[in-house]
Amino acid sequence: MVDFDALTRANLRRWEQAKLTRKVISDKVAKSLVAAKARYRAVEAKTGVPWPVIAVIHERESSQNWGRSLAQGDPWNRVSVHVPEGRGPFNSWEEAAIDALLNCHPHLAKRKDWSLAGVLIALEMYNGLGYASKGVPSPYLWAGTSQYKSGKYVRDGVYDPGHVDQQLGCVAMLLSMMAIDPTITFTGAKVTSSTPQAPHMPSIATPSKGSIGAFIASIFNVISKRKS
């Protein structure tokens, strides 16, 4: 049984402390994802799922292959054979993506919380909670950042602690995308727990010096001053 409160706090701390470890690659991927913003926003309009979330899932599931489904990376013009199996065929990538978000577990289109905390939980649920149940960072989120070293489910139910995921995690892509497109923000993130954070512990409001959280906070401060 996954403790979602603990997972939320762990993921927010990881976000605050994360540093890109494959920045050249993540920046290149981010440029490609941001360039397709219009297509992702068309799916967002039908599902309510933020377009950056759709974009990073697309990259994780199929390396942004427009011939593959967002659900599991199978060709969308044929009936899917991998979980979720039996979906399709569809008439377009967009139609398949809408089906994946509306009708397939974990039904992201039904979620209302798209704060940073909500985004991280949604992405972890999309891939599955096997890593959370082990208390380890999910490579689906954290590969390509300092928060991930090794460990991966190499096939269903088989976890190899020494295997290193070669794909970029969603967080690495999101951080690079946010640096390119400042309109990408995830507001309202809060650490909710019956046990308050220790005064010295970094938080979203007071990230640790030199962390990605501090960098993002500085960008937000500049933007806020320009608007005021």
- For 77, the domain range is 4-175
Residue 202 has pLDDT above 80, yes or no: no
**What mean pLDDT do residues 84-90 have?**
97
Tens-digit pLDDT profile for residues 7-33: 999 999 999 999 999 999 999 999 999
φ, ψ of residue 183 to 5 degrees: the values are -75, -10
Domain presence at residue 205:
no
Of 81-85, 160-164, 209-213, the poorest mean pLDDT is in: 209-213
Q: Residues 11, 108, 128, CA angle at the centre, nearest 5°? A: 55
pLDDT > 70: what percent of the chain? 82
Give the burial string for 159-188 (b: 16+ CB within 10 Å, else e).
eeeeeebebbbbbbbbbbbbbebeebbbee
For the cut 90, the answer to whether the pLDDT of residue 187 exceeds it is no
| Position 186 in a domain | no
How much is the average pLDDT of 95-124?
Answer: 96
The pLDDT, as a whole number, for residue 204 is 37
Total number of domains in the chain: 1
Whether 116 is in a domain gets the answer: yes
In a domain, 8, yes or no: yes
pLDDT exceeds 50 at position 216: no
Mean pLDDT of the chain: 86
The mean pLDDT of 70-81, rounded to a whole number, is 97
- 46 domain residue, yes or no: yes
Contact 163, 150 (CB under 8 A): yes
Please say if the pLDDT value at position 203 is more than 90: no
Helices 212-227/170-180 angle, 10° precision: 30
Q: Is residue 31 part of a domain?
A: yes
Is 54 a domain residue?
A: yes
Report yes or no on 196 lying in a domain. Answer: no
Q: What's the pLDDT at 111?
A: 95
Choose among 213, 132, 129, 127: nearest CA to 170: 127
Q: pLDDT of 122-181, one tens digit each?
A: 999 999 999 999 999 999 999 999 999 999 999 888 999 999 999 999 999 999 999 999
pLDDT tier at 186, thresholds 50, 70, 90: confident
Give the closest residue to 116 by CA, choosing from 208, 33, 197, 15.
15
> How many C-beta atoms lie closer than 10 Å to residue 64's C-beta?
16
- φ, ψ of residue 223 to 5 degrees: the values are -65, -40
